[in-house]
């Protein structure tokens, strides 16, 4: 009698293998669904990040083109500045030339 009471208490306390398998199966399915949802969210996040990277690459390409255009403009402006500096120097020399000629005439007569 005592032993039957022990078995009954044990059976009530601890579910049998069939109910354990059922619980494990349900928990496993729930875990699988949670993992699948997490994977789907990760895939969506990765796709969004890939799209963002593609947009950033396009922006970088546009900026590089803009920089190249501006570098060309700067080179043209530098060439223009150099030519203007040469022109200024030539004008300064031309303006001072008559003075020197006049001074040379003044001193050459003596």
Q: For residue 54, is pLDDT > 70? A: yes
Cα–Cα distance for residue pair 70/17, rounded to 1 Å: 77
> What letter does residue 16 receive in the DSSP assignment?
-
Q: Are 74 and 81 in contact (CB under 8 A)?
A: no
Most confident among 11-20, 64-73, 84-93 (mean pLDDT): 64-73
Query: Is there a domain that residue 34 lies in?
Result: yes
- 23 near 15, Cβ under 8 Å? yes
State the average pLDDT over residues 42-70: 98
The rounded distance, in Å, linking the Cα atoms of 4 and 10 is 10
Question: CA 61, 65, 71: angle at the middle one, nearest 5?
Answer: 140
Residue 2 in domain:
no
Residue-number span of the structural domain to which 84 is assigned: 16-108
- Candidate from 3-17, 25-39, 49-63, 77-91 with smallest mean pLDDT: 3-17
In a domain, 3, yes or no: no
Please write down the HEC assignment for all residues of 64-85: HHHHHHHHHHHHHHHHHHHHHH
Task: Confirm whether 10 is domain-assigned.
Answer: no
Our count of domains for the chain comes to 1
Q: Indicate the pLDDT class of residue 72, thresholds 50, 70 and 90.
A: very high
Kindly report, residue by residue over 5-46, the tens digit of the pLDDT.
Answer: 555 555 555 556 566 666 678 888 899 999 999 999 999 999
In a domain, 66, yes or no: yes
- The confidence score (pLDDT) of residue 95 equals 85
More confident of the two residues 80 and 5: 80
Supply the pLDDT for residue 3.
Answer: 58
Question: Rounded to an integer, what distance in angstroms lies between the CA atom of residue 108 and that of residue 110?
Answer: 5
Q: Is 99 in a helix, a strand, or coil?
A: helix
Tokens describing residue 49: 């990040």
Asked, for residue 60, whether it belongs to a domain, the answer is: yes
């Amino acid at each position: 009698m005592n032993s039957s009471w022990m078995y009954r208490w044990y059976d009530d306390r601890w579910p049998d293998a069939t109910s354990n398998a059922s619980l494990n199966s349900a928990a496993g399915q729930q875990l699988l669904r949670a993992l699948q949802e997490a994977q789907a969210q990760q895939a969506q996040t990765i796709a969004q990040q890939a799209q963002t990277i593609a947009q950033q690459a396009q922006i970088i390409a546009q900026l590089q083109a803009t920089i190249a255009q501006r570098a060309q403009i700067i080179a043209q402006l530098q060439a223009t500045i150099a030519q203007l500096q040469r022109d200024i120097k030539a004008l300064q020399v031309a303006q001072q030339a008559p003075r020197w000629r006049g001074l040379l005439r003044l001193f050459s007569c003596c």
